[in-house]
Amino acid sequence: MVKLTFSTALGQKNAKKEKDEALIPQEGEGTTHFCGVSYQEERYAMQETGEEEGQVELPAMLRHLEEHVRILEEEEVALINVPVPEFSDSDPADIVHDFNRRLTAYLDLSLNKCYVIPLNTSIVMPPKDFLELLANIKAGTYLPQSYLVHEQMVVTERVRHMEQLGYFINSLCTGKDTYRLQRRDTVSRIQKREALNCHKILHFENKFVMETLICEQ
């Protein structure tokens, strides 16, 4: 189940940010899309059977995620704002996918921290294709599959030279503590939370929903 509506642009470039509210850099032409997607989220629980302890999968639960999307085709940039989901412990965030710089930046609005990582083109649709997907959803000619994909990032080092990140990410992250991320091999959800201090961001820029876990070592 997917719904797509349209709203005005996400405020002006110098607008004041309120709590948990996005301030996405504005540049060039672009329409802001307000869209939502429903997806199946798997659930797990720990179960003890005699001397053994194991992880048991529970029936999946249907969730709904909404976000604002602004596509700048000429700049090859996608700007995404994810509000606080009502059902989840995930954080609100602003996300920039810059295909010219081959970089992605996550601004965790709860922590007021920025995280930068090389763009994963196997997950993130190019802006033109993403815009076409949104248009097809609106037209009712395409309904994305509703499932959740997990990825885990680990904080590595602080970014000292913001100008190397390009205009859009620099605008998003200037004045905030900014760190580089490294992707980590997949581990179980329970192990992730026990071993590291992690913050979750739910978002989508493809035919599925991403759960990005950003963890401090």
User: Is 19 contained in some domain?
Assistant: no
Query: Does the global pTM surpass 0.85?
Result: no
What pLDDT is stored for residue 82 in this prediction?
95
User: Is 118 contained in some domain?
Assistant: yes
pLDDT winner (highest mean) among 50-59, 136-145, 155-164, 194-203? 155-164
User: How many helices and strands (H and E) does the chain possess?
Assistant: 3, 11
Give the confidence band of 105 by pLDDT, cuts at 50, 70, 90.
very high
What pLDDT is stored for residue 7 in this prediction?
35
Task: Express each pLDDT in 115-127 by its tens digit.
Answer: 999 999 999 999 9
Q: Which domain holds residue 146?
A: 2-12+24-43+53-216
Cβ atoms 56, 42 nearer than 8 A: no
User: Is 144 contained in some domain?
Assistant: yes
User: Is 190 contained in some domain?
Assistant: yes
Percent of the chain with pLDDT over 90: 47
User: Is 191 contained in some domain?
Assistant: yes
Number of domains in the chain: 1
Evaluate if residue 132 carries a pLDDT over 80: yes
Within 10 angstroms of residue 183's Cβ, the number of other Cβ atoms is 12
What pLDDT is stored for residue 53 in this prediction?
60
Read off the pLDDT of each residue in 143-160 and give the average, rounded to a whole number. 85
User: Is 136 contained in some domain?
Assistant: yes
What pLDDT is stored for residue 142 in this prediction?
60
What pLDDT is stored for residue 65 in this prediction?
86
Evaluate if residue 11 carries a pLDDT over 60: no
Q: Which residues, 6+ apart, have CB-to-CB distance to 124 below 8 Å?
A: 78, 97, 104, 205, 206
User: Is 48 contained in some domain?
Assistant: no
User: Is 185 contained in some domain?
Assistant: yes
DSSP of 49-99: ETTEEEEEEEEEEEEEEEEEEEEETTTTEEEEEE---SS-SPPPEEEEEET
More confidently predicted of 78 and 29: 78
Rounded to whole angstroms, how far apart are CA atoms 91 and 108?
A: 7
